Homo-oligomer: A and B are copies of this chain.
Amino acid sequence: MTGDSALKTEDTTDDLAEAKTVGLSDDRISEIIDDLNSEDDTLLENDLQGLSLADTVDLIHKITPEQRSKLFALHGGSIDPYIYVEIDPGLRQDALSAMPAQKIAEIVSSLDSDDALDLLINLDEDFQKDIIRKLSAKMRVAMEEGLSYPEESAGRLMQREYVAVPQFWTVGKTIDYLRAAAPDLPDDFYDIIVINPGYHVIGEIPLSRLIKARRAEKLENLTLDETHIVPADMDQEEVALIFRREGLGSAPVVDADDRLIGVITVDDIIDVINVEAQEDILKLAGVEGGDLYRAVLSTTGSRFRWLFLNLLTAILASMVISLFEGTIQEVVALAILMPIVASMGGNAGTQALTVAVRALATRELSSSNMLRIIWKETLVGTLNGIGFAIIMGLIAGLWYSNPALGFVIAIAMVANLIVAGLCGAGIPILLQKSGADPAVSSTVFLTTVTDVVGFFGFLGLAALFLS
């Protein structure tokens, strides 16, 4: 057996060279596209039947928007409703907006409450109400309550289908109950939740503990000492941190009165961790999530805003340079060398900034070590500043046979790298303290500082010592 055993491949003969790829191979995608473009509808129906859920998601992501519309229009009926949960939120919105409310209501009704909610949240509010009106009473209440929780909160993430039993039961009684109630229980669960008559959570029992215990054992003897109860309004990033810190399989969610209302499982959390880590990297570059699947115009617009901010920074830097017009005209070498100082500051600052932004997100950076980290980054900036000052001082001095020029660029380099270290760590911390998202705007602030200090320092010193 080779790697493909892990892949849940289709029944077609698979190219062995491709066997190590996770998911749908590019060759298989081309074949399916050919089938989609053919006159014979049964070809694609067969393809879709042979695909696992994750492979179908891959397919939908990787084909063109035109192919996607065709697929949804002609073969929407053969698509597992759960597909709509798994595809990129932008594509999901496109697909659902084109459907009648009745059809979406049917899809929603076939899903667990957390997935159903995912489908509704990005739709237009009126359309949302339209769909909710067509649901069963139970699902309607679930959706309305779910929507009442803040975005990206535990309440939105949880599912309402959980397994809870009273604290005074024995293992045997619990297993008998699980067998009898099987059709009404969630398909998969990792823990059972032990509650008191007031629906307050006493604790959790992992299934592996339950199944290893003797039938006569009381549940209260098995309940984990550390059960991590999540309030419904807790932010999902916070919930993910708890799961990661504690290695949880699931956690009960409670309302404001501490009553059990749902459960969050680790597979929901994997998505959150992935999205949150991904979000930071994208935000630092001024890109929005789902960008890959957006249409050209929508991507252009969302990127324009960020670039416009950067343009303002660049213009500010130009204004700083223009203060020294006379000096540059006298010593044109300054124009040639000045981008080096600014760019080294920007790069050194970005290093400190990236470390700080990630450490803030994972809570590894907080008040207790904040000053120490800022101090360390300033020191690192100083040391690297001295190193690059020597290197660039020598290069510039020799290039233009002008020791004073070497001296000026060296001093400017040290100064800019010290500031870069200080601000690279300091700006994200200040933004976080003031309630802003450090990943979103840190870079623009940092570039402004390193550009202004870089150009002003270098050209200012040059004006003093060289002209």
Task: Mark A residues whose CB is within 8 Å of B.
Answer: 1-3, 5-8, 20-23, 26, 29-30, 52, 54, 57-58, 61-64, 175, 178-179, 182, 185-190, 206-214, 226, 228-231, 234, 238, 241-247, 249, 251, 254, 258, 266-267, 269-271, 273-274, 277-278, 280-282, 284-287, 291-292, 296-297, 299-300, 303-304, 306-307, 310-311, 313-315, 317-318, 321-322, 325, 328-329, 332, 334-340, 342-344, 347-348, 350-351, 353-355, 358-359, 363-369, 372-373, 376, 379-380, 383-384, 387-388, 391-392, 395, 447, 451, 455
**Across-interface contacts of A379 in B (CB, < 8 A):** 296, 300
Q: Which of B187, B278, B307 contacts A384 (CB 8 A)?
A: B307
Q: Cα distance A236–B282 when bound, in Å? A: 23
Q: CB distance B5 to A231 under 8 Å?
A: yes
Q: Which of B63, B178, B334 contacts A211 (CB 8 A)?
A: B178
**Across-interface contacts of A242 in B (CB, < 8 A):** 6-7, 22
- Beyond A54-B245, A277-B274, A292-B359, whether A208 also contacts B189 by CB under 8 A is yes
Q: Which of B254, B300, B310 contacts A383 (CB 8 A)?
A: B300
**Across-interface contacts of A2 in B (CB, < 8 A):** 231
Q: CB distance A285 to B318 under 8 Å?
A: no
The residue in A58, A249, A355 that gathers the most chain B C-beta atoms within 10 A of its C-beta is A355
20 additional A-B pairs beyond A5-B254, A244-B274, A338-B339, beta carbons within 8 Å, are A1-B258, A5-B228, A6-B231, A22-B242, A26-B367, A175-B211, A187-B208, A207-B208, A247-B270, A266-B267, A285-B351, A292-B355, A292-B359, A307-B344, A311-B344, A315-B395, A318-B340, A321-B335, A332-B335, A339-B339
Distance in Å: Cβ of A200 to nearest Cβ of chain B: 9
Q: Which of B5, B206, B347 contacts A310 (CB 8 A)?
A: B347
**Across-interface contacts of A258 in B (CB, < 8 A):** 1, 5
- Beyond A211-B175, A318-B339, A339-B317, whether A303 also contacts B384 by CB under 8 A is yes
Q: CB distance A347 to B189 under 8 Å?
A: no
**Across-interface contacts of A299 in B (CB, < 8 A):** 376, 380
Q: This chain: how many copies in the complex?
A: 2
Q: CB distance A307 to B388 under 8 Å?
A: yes
Q: CB distance A368 to B3 under 8 Å?
A: no
Provide the main secondary structure of the chain A interface: helix
Q: Cα distance A266–B243 when bound, in Å? A: 11
**Across-interface contacts of A29 in B (CB, < 8 A):** 368
